Amino acid sequence: MRILVVEDDLEAQRYLVQGLKESGHVVDDAADGDLGLSLALSRPYDVAIIDRMLPKMDGLGVVAEMREHGNTTPVLFLSALSEVDDRVKGLKAGGDDYLTKPYAFVELLARVDALMRRRSPVTVKTQLSVGDLHLDLLTRAAKRGDQAIDLQPREFRLLEYLMRHAGQVVTRTMLLESVWEYHFDPQTNVIDVHISRLRAKIDKGFDTPLLHTIRGAGYMIRAR
Amino acid sequence: MTGRGAMMRNSFRLLRTQAFRIVLVYVLLFAFSVSALLFFTYWNTRRTIDDETDQIIEAEITGLNEQYVRLGIRGLDESVMNRSLHPGQALYILADSAHRYLAGDLDTWPSITPDPSNFVEFDYERRTSGVPETRRARGRIFPIQTPVGDYYLLVAEDVHDRDITQRMFTTTLPWTVALILVFGLLGGALMSRNMLRRLDSINRTSGEIVAGNLTRRVPVSGAHDEFDVLAENLNRMLDRIERLMKGLREVTDSVAHDLRTPLNRLRQRLEQQQGRLQSAGSDTSDIERAIAETDQLIGTFNALLLIAETDAGTARGAMSPLDLASVAADVSELYEPLADEKNVTLTLIRPSGVHSGETMIEGNRSLISQALVNLVDNAIKYTPPGGRVTIRPGLSFQGVDISVADSGPGIPPEERPRVVERFVRLEASRHSPGTGLGLALVQSVAHFHNAELLLEDNAPGLKATLRFPRPAARLMPTADPVKAAQIPSRSAAE
């Protein structure tokens, strides 16, 4: 996958580019807004990672220009600004996701993966399946093999999000943001307890576990 | 809300204004003094007229008495006849002991109490150009005792004109008072409406500014009156506040940027090192601890920054109508499994007898959720296994409340004011994880919303209550079912 990184802190940029390359992506980089914008408009990228504060042209301006030219590349904003309403500004300007510095690289990678997945043609799905686990989005029913699973509404949303990102790492922050709509981290890790409850419902009594903990990163649902 | 309801509420508002009250007092005072003046004039006029009439009558009686003394009853009779020939204000009747007419221009003896010591008033009939007319007269009876028998002489004056004047006064008085009241109140209403309009525009502006829109200014009418002076002063103050806030925002932004950039590099280096050690198969536990410490540092820094921003009120623009009961339900749902795992009973008590819309307030959903999360997190952390934590949204007399009560050790009363300060941690909790900023954030979120954070004894345990002011009437959706149905979906979409 092709990724554009626009970041003026050269050390951070080097680390980011190296990490993404090690994860198997093709990466172009730019250190200011002008160059970032011309790269974004001249080559196809799967994801653009853009810093909020850039020399020559601000990150918000870059994305606004991109959208003006009909460019729909998913954009992940990186910001070192205070975050209270900066997130709203970033998303309003056309950003798709927002990450505050300092961030863990796994968090960034998980979000980049999620953004790339979003790009693939969206078909309206009414059924999600991972292995023998099936989720019917219309009847709100879950089933593993022949066994029906009784889920609370929030558990259903949690499982739905995990299954939509099957095979991808999903971080705790991503779950908090999309399942609970909280853009802050509670001091205690409440998500882990929700996951273990869900795991008890879908994996208990089955030979192959589907819901995996990825150490130091988050969770992943996958068939094997 | 119906138009009539709104109109009635508006006129009630008008009546409650200071301007209207002042006008009302003045109008009543004025009406009273005008009535008093008119009444005094009327009373004085009548007295003067009556005195004059009485003097004339006395003079007539004195004159006739002289005639009688000089010429006897016959002479009196003749004098009365003579005087009656000239029609005028004066009226006479001479009657015998049975009050039968003997002479005079009154045809019959009027029905009056025969009291010679006082002036009497009576109605009589007079033909003016052939039409009979009842008129009023004032007179005095003069009894004459003769050896032949008793006679009565009544000398009177027509006081019809006096009565007309009197009627004029009695009809004018209520009309005058009514007109004073009508015009006074109308003027008062106009005056207070005008004042209200000016004040409303100031209030509206300050409301928007409190809600976070610092670019708003109070409109200046250009009339150069005291309201304009007030508006200009307020605007100058606002300019200054806006400049200060902008400066503050720039400072927090650059502090954030200048601290986050090196923290970011630090974390990245640690991660890099961790990767290298991992691929070399070495022990990474020290690096992992260093990363965890860095994350703790970042967490503290973020919390401090958020408190600073919330205190400064720069976290604007995200205010929306929201239901405290639904915020409470969400947080309760998030923490229920954690409490369960710790063997603490977490209960959400839905307010009984409260309609779903009544716990609506205007607020920042993210900040309020975070404050509540901090309270619930603390409550679960400090409640021993087997204990209970209760979240209760509801209405109180003073506002819209949300309380979190636990059965933990509580906070001694003398420590309660201190625990909401930054970095204050009580001895008992010094060794459990936490930044010491949790309650400080709750406190600033409370300030941000003009709410109060109350820490009370739950006997045993702590009861923390966030008390939000009741929103203005326009936010109460119960009056408008359509609007009420829209609000939850709007806040859910955010």
Same domain, B339 and B382: yes
Same domain, B251 and B231: yes
- Whether omega for the bond prior to residue B460 falls within 30 degrees of 0, making it cis, is yes
Same domain, A110 and A11: yes
CB nearest to A190's CB, from B266, B299, B334: B334
Q: Look at residues A102, A119, A136 and tell me which one is the last residue of a structural domain.
A: A119
Same domain, A137 and A112: no
Asked, for residue B288, whether it belongs to a domain, the answer is: yes
> Residues A152-161: pLDDT tens digits?
999 999 999 9
Q: What per-residue confidence (pLDDT) applies to B204?
A: 85
Closest chain A C-alpha to B390 CA, distance in angstroms: 18
Asked, for residue B467, whether it belongs to a domain, the answer is: yes
Distance from C-alpha of A201 to C-alpha of A53, rounded to nearest angstrom: 45
Same domain, B25 and B134: yes
Distance from C-alpha of B468 to C-alpha of B484, rounded to nearest angstrom: 20
Asked, for residue B200, whether it belongs to a domain, the answer is: yes
Which chain A residues have any C-beta within 8 angstroms of a chain B C-beta? 9, 11-12, 15, 53, 80-85, 88, 100-105, 154, 180, 182-188, 190, 193-194, 196-197
Same domain, A165 and A82: no
Beta-carbon contacts of residue B401 (< 8 Å; ≥ 6 apart): B392, B393, B394, B395, B465, B466, B467, B468
Asked if the Cβ–Cβ distance from A187 to B309 is below 8 Å, we say no
Asked, for residue B456, whether it belongs to a domain, the answer is: yes
Q: Look at residues B210, B245, B280 and tell me which one is the last residue of a structural domain.
A: B210
**Chain A residue with the nearest C-alpha to that of B341:** A193
Same domain, A106 and A13: yes
- Whether omega for the bond prior to residue A102 falls within 30 degrees of 0, making it cis, is yes
Domain count, chain B: 3
**Chain A residue with the nearest C-alpha to that of B379:** A188
Distance from C-alpha of B23 to C-alpha of A135, rounded to nearest angstrom: 72
Same domain, B15 and B82: yes
Distance from C-alpha of A196 to C-alpha of A185, rounded to nearest angstrom: 19
Same domain, A72 and A137: no
Asked if the Cβ–Cβ distance from B335 to A103 is below 8 Å, we say no
Q: Look at residues B151, B183, B210 and tell me which one is the last residue of a structural domain.
A: B210
CB nearest to A82's CB, from B309, B340, B370: B309
Asked if the Cβ–Cβ distance from B366 to A182 is below 8 Å, we say yes
> Residues B308-338: pLDDT tens digits?
888 877 655 567 888 999 999 999 999 999 9
Going across the sheet that includes A170-171, the strands are A170-171, A218-221, A211-214
Percent of chain A surpassing pLDDT 90? 58
Q: What per-residue confidence (pLDDT) applies to B465?
A: 93
CB–CB of B151/B97 below 8 Å? yes
Cα pseudo-dihedral B112, B117, B119, B122, rounded to 10: 0
**Chain B contact set for A194 (CB, 8 A):** 334, 337
Structure tokens of A24? 């198997």
Same domain, A179 and A75: no
Asked, for residue B263, whether it belongs to a domain, the answer is: yes
| Other Cβ atoms within 10 Å of B469 Cβ, number | 14
Asked if the Cβ–Cβ distance from A82 to B252 is below 8 Å, we say yes
Q: What per-residue confidence (pLDDT) applies to B474?
A: 42
Asked if the Cβ–Cβ distance from B310 to A11 is below 8 Å, we say no
- Taking the alpha carbons of A64, A68, A71, A74 in that order, is the dihedral positive or negative? positive
Closest chain A C-alpha to B292 CA, distance in angstroms: 11
Distance from C-alpha of B269 to C-alpha of A102, rounded to nearest angstrom: 12
Same domain, A167 and A211: yes
Percent of chain B surpassing pLDDT 70? 89
Asked, for residue B59, whether it belongs to a domain, the answer is: yes
CB–CB of B57/B68 below 8 Å? no
Which of B431, B426, B394 shows the shortest CA–CA distance to B410? B426
Same domain, B192 and B288: no
Same domain, A132 and A217: yes
Mean confidence (pLDDT) of chain A: 89
Q: What per-residue confidence (pLDDT) applies to B431?
A: 60
> Residues A167-210: pLDDT tens digits?
999 999 999 999 998 988 887 789 999 999 999 999 988 888 99
Cα pseudo-dihedral B245, B249, B252, B258, rounded to 10: -140
User: In angstroms, what CA-CA distances link A69 with A40, A41, A56, A179, B428?
Assistant: 10, 8, 19, 32, 60
Beta-carbon contacts of residue B126 (< 8 Å; ≥ 6 apart): B132, B133, B135, B158
Same domain, B71 and B169: yes
Beta-carbon contacts of residue B148 (< 8 Å; ≥ 6 apart): B73
Same domain, B265 and B348: no
Closest chain B C-alpha to A11 CA, distance in angstroms: 7
CB nearest to A9's CB, from B261, B266, B310: B261
Asked if the Cβ–Cβ distance from B310 to A84 is below 8 Å, we say yes
Asked if the Cβ–Cβ distance from A190 to B298 is below 8 Å, we say no
Asked if the Cβ–Cβ distance from A85 to B333 is below 8 Å, we say no
Asked if the Cβ–Cβ distance from B294 to A102 is below 8 Å, we say yes
CB nearest to B260's CB, from A101, A105, A183: A101
Same domain, A115 and A136: no
**Chain A contact set for B330 (CB, 8 A):** 180
Q: Look at residues A119, A143, A175 and tell me which one is the last residue of a structural domain.
A: A119
Q: What per-residue confidence (pLDDT) applies to B409?
A: 87
- Read off the CATH number of the domain in which A152 is found: 1.10.10.10
Q: What per-residue confidence (pLDDT) applies to A161?
A: 93
Question: Distance from CA of residue A158 to its chain's centroid?
Answer: 14
**Chain B residue with the nearest C-alpha to that of A80:** B257
Closest chain A C-alpha to B204 CA, distance in angstroms: 24
- Read off the CATH number of the domain in which B368 is found: 3.30.565.10
| Other Cβ atoms within 10 Å of B111 Cβ, number | 8
Chain A contact for B483 (CB, 8 A cutoff): no
Same domain, B253 and B369: no
Residue with tokens 């390359």: A21
Asked, for residue B366, whether it belongs to a domain, the answer is: yes
Same domain, B126 and B271: no
CB nearest to A102's CB, from B252, B298, B335: B298
Domain range for B323 is 319-493
Same domain, A144 and A106: no
Question: Distance from CA of residue B337 to its chain's centroid?
Answer: 48
Asked if the Cβ–Cβ distance from B373 to A85 is below 8 Å, we say no
Same domain, A209 and A139: yes
Same domain, A137 and A209: yes
Q: pTM here?
A: 0.67
Domain range for A203 is 127-221
ipTM, 2 decimals? 0.88
Q: What per-residue confidence (pLDDT) applies to A194?
A: 94
Same domain, B171 and B103: yes
Is residue A211 classed exposed, middle or buried when 0-12, 13-18 and 19+ CB atoms within 10 A define those classes?
Answer: buried
Distance from C-alpha of B218 to C-alpha of A137, rounded to nearest angstrom: 52
- Read off the CATH number of the domain in which B298 is found: 1.10.287
> Residues A35-71: pLDDT tens digits?
999 999 999 999 999 998 898 888 999 999 999 999 9
The alpha-helical segments, DSSP class H, found in B449-480 are: none
CB–CB of B156/B175 below 8 Å? no
Q: What per-residue confidence (pLDDT) applies to B165?
A: 81
Same domain, B272 and B335: no
Same domain, B125 and B272: no
Structure tokens of B301? 């820094």
Asked, for residue B215, whether it belongs to a domain, the answer is: no
Asked if the Cβ–Cβ distance from A85 to B316 is below 8 Å, we say yes
Q: Look at residues A72, A89, A119 and tell me which one is the last residue of a structural domain.
A: A119
Domain count, chain A: 2
Q: What per-residue confidence (pLDDT) applies to A207?
A: 87
User: What is the pLDDT tens value at each position of chain B, 494 positions in all?
Assistant: 455 666 666 667 777 777 788 888 888 898 899 888 888 888 888 888 889 888 988 888 888 888 888 888 888 888 888 888 776 778 888 888 888 888 888 878 887 776 777 888 888 887 767 788 888 888 888 888 887 788 888 888 888 888 888 888 888 888 888 888 898 888 888 888 888 888 888 888 888 877 667 788 888 888 888 888 888 998 898 888 888 878 887 887 788 888 888 898 999 999 888 888 888 888 888 898 999 889 888 888 888 888 888 887 765 556 788 899 999 999 999 999 999 999 999 999 987 777 767 888 888 888 999 999 999 999 999 899 999 999 999 888 888 999 999 998 888 888 888 888 877 777 666 566 666 788 899 999 998 888 999 999 888 889 999 999 887 644 433 333 333 333 333 333 33
- Taking the alpha carbons of A60, A62, A63, A69 in that order, is the dihedral positive or negative? positive
Q: What per-residue confidence (pLDDT) applies to A25?
A: 93
- Read off the CATH number of the domain in which A32 is found: 3.40.50.2300
**Chain B residue with the nearest C-alpha to that of A11:** B265
